[in-house]
Structure 1
Amino acid sequence: MRKVIYNRFGDANVLELTEQAVPVPEQNQLLIRVKAVSINPLDWKVYGGEMKLMSGSKFPKSVGIDFSGIVEKTGSHITGFKTGDEIIGMLDVFKGGALADYVVVKETDIVLKPANTSFAEAAALPVTGLSALQIMDQLAAVQPNQEILINGASGGIGIFAVQIARQRGAKVTAVVSTKSLDEAKQWGADKVIDYKKQDIQQLTQKFDAVIDLSGRLTFKAAKKRMKDKATFVTTLPEPQVLLYSFFNNLFSGKKLKILIVKPTVENLKKLTGLAEQNLQIVLDKTYFINEVRKAYNEASKGKIIGKSVILFD
């Protein structure tokens, strides 16, 4: 089978498409034939060496976190799935391994694919969708009528975050680029800001939660736009930020929360339920597995709307 690996840290050119043996599932595992894998910014942070503390430095390493596919074979102890089931799933965020024709998973890694989505759309759900759920329901704990600022609202997490925040009854201000203004309104944003034309630091409004999905807004800068007991959420789990957040949150009413995705079957099922209720999934580009370097090179430039997905023919 084909599998993408890398033997050193670097840019997308370190990714290699290799031939490997098809894995054999154990009694409590399933063999999945992969149909699509989504691209996440965390991928290039890991293979770029930015997450060595979490990923380790032993090679070879694998790529790809969330995926869709079909159950090919089940271990003898598997009771919740059968051969032929269409599923979505998520692997360890720092180890990956989904960019392969086949992957071995546990029952707790997967749920049934939403029937109204394609394999490409379904692969785009787990990482970004679970991230948005975790931000809204746990980190920011969004309540009805709260005022929420989402910076970077046209990315993978942002599109879901806008929709989920609106479902929770929040008033959403979405910060996007010019080309995403109309789309952000369609996703449900109450107010849309073009960051190329308006500096959010010049806003007079203050928010109950400021969610930065761009990686460019600091907590120090965001404080000016936060209410006294507001929350700032960042998606950058850097060691110094983790340490600073611990001490800040002991003494300050303005909290700093850091997203580290913690997938659960319950939340995956909640996410597929939202998808079946017409949660919008936006795909920017699709690629084939032999275009993996091109796919990551283009995605890492950060000018896409929604998610890019790699398909297996």
Structure 2
Amino acid sequence: MKAFTRTVYGGPDVLQLEEVEKPLVKEGEILVKVFANSANPADWHILRGEPFFARFTFGLFKPKDKIIGADFAGVVVEAGNNVKQFKTGDRVFGETLKGGAFAEYVVVPETSCALIPGEISFSDIAAVPTAGLTALQALITHGKLKHGETVLINGASGGVGHFAVQIAKAYGAHVTAVCSSKNIDFVKSLGADKVIAYDKEIIHQHQGKYDLVIDTNGNLLHKDYKRMGQRGVMVGFTTLGHMFATLLKKATSKFPLLQFKAEANTEDLQILASLVQEGKVTPHIEKTYSFEDIPAAISYIEAMRTRGKVVMVWEA
């Protein structure tokens, strides 16, 4: 099968398209023929081995796994023993943070997948897993968002943010979104009730009050959460210094501020698929690449100016 592989840490230029053996299916796993992927910031972090401490997981001096890639959508071509949810021919989508998705075929646990409902396209649903799960779990699982509450979403135009705005609205929240001036109309089209342009108003001085503050951009300080929110959820960080400073403050404060790592599970993926099918959530795909241009797609994501998502499509 074709797959993008790497043997060293580095930028997208270290990726090579080559023929490798198709992965073997173990108990509880399914083999999926991939029709579409999407790119996420995690892909280039893993590709570069950054931040450095992540290498204790992914390989200290060189990568443990040759093939990266998390998000995929495709068709089940083989099911392992004791697989109960899926059968050959099922259209599925999901996420594998262990990598392996930037290939013609990927093996994943059945618990990391869900069925694609209706006529949703592979490219549309491939945009959902990592970013959609992060947004859903930030708002609902960890943020405990309730109908009628107010939520501030910092970084509302990006992959996670544009899903967060739509999911929050679907759950009945009043949404204030933070983005650049050029993205105001886009974020309003997602359903935001109010938009703050960070290049017009300094968010670190904003005096609004909200039940929940979600930071997908990763630049809010601990004091920002306390000033603006009743509770907060951190999705990411801009620098290691910012991460350690915020976590230190979090450890010594009673303010309910949570940090988490999104986890793929069938139930949450099914919720996201239903929201897409019902038209309550629409993945915004800014650019679509051929599978041959996966390195270029990662470069585009790494620039961190993406509005919505970037998708890569494999040949049928």
Q: With structure 2 as the length reference, what TM-score do the two structures score?
A: 0.89
Cα–Cα, structure 1 residues 205 and 28, in superposed 2: closer, same or farther, change >3 Å?
Answer: closer
Q: Does 1:151 align with 2:140?
A: no
Tell me by how many angstroms 1:84 deviates.
1.5
Gaps of 5+ in 1: none
Cα–Cα, structure 1 residues 230 and 106, in superposed 2: closer, same or farther, change >3 Å?
Answer: closer
Q: Matched residue of 1:52: which SS?
A: helix
Superposed, 1:204-283 pairs within 5 Å as 204-226=207-229, 229-236=230-237, 248-249=249-250, 252-278=253-279, 279-283=281-285
Judge conservation of contact 2:39–2:311 (CA < 8 Å) in 1: yes
Give the root-mean-square deviation of aligned CA atoms: 2.3
Aligned to 1:45: 45
Q: Matched residue of 2:168: which SS?
A: helix
Aligned to 1:55: 58
Query: What is the identity, as a one-letter code, of the residue corresponding to 2:86?
Result: F
Aligned to 2:286: 284
- Residues 158-187 of structure 1 show CA distances to partners (whole Å, capped at 9, x for unaligned) of 111111212222221101123321221121
Judge conservation of contact 2:237–2:243 (CA < 8 Å) in 1: no
Judge conservation of contact 1:148–1:208 (CA < 8 Å) in 2: yes
Judge conservation of contact 2:58–2:64 (CA < 8 Å) in 1: no
Deviates more, 1:147-156 or 1:249-258: 249-258
State the distance in 2 between where 1:186 and 1:267 align: 24
Tell me by how many angstroms 1:147 deviates.
2.2
Judge conservation of contact 2:233–2:258 (CA < 8 Å) in 1: yes
State the distance in 1 between where 2:8 and 2:303 align: 21
Q: Matched residue of 1:61: which SS?
A: coil
Judge conservation of contact 1:70–1:85 (CA < 8 Å) in 2: yes
Judge conservation of contact 2:152–2:210 (CA < 8 Å) in 1: yes
Aligned to 2:179: 176
Aligned to 2:72: 67
Aligned to 1:295: 297
Aligned to 2:93: 88
Q: With structure 1 as the length reference, what TM-score do the two structures score?
A: 0.90
Tell me by how many angstroms 1:109 deviates.
2.0
Gaps of 5+ in 2: none
Cα–Cα, structure 1 residues 304 and 244, in superposed 2: closer, same or farther, change >3 Å?
Answer: closer
Q: Matched residue of 1:83: which SS?
A: coil
Query: What is the identity, as a one-letter code, of the residue corresponding to 1:5?
Result: T
Cα–Cα, structure 1 residues 195 and 118, in superposed 2: closer, same or farther, change >3 Å?
Answer: same
Aligned to 1:16: 16
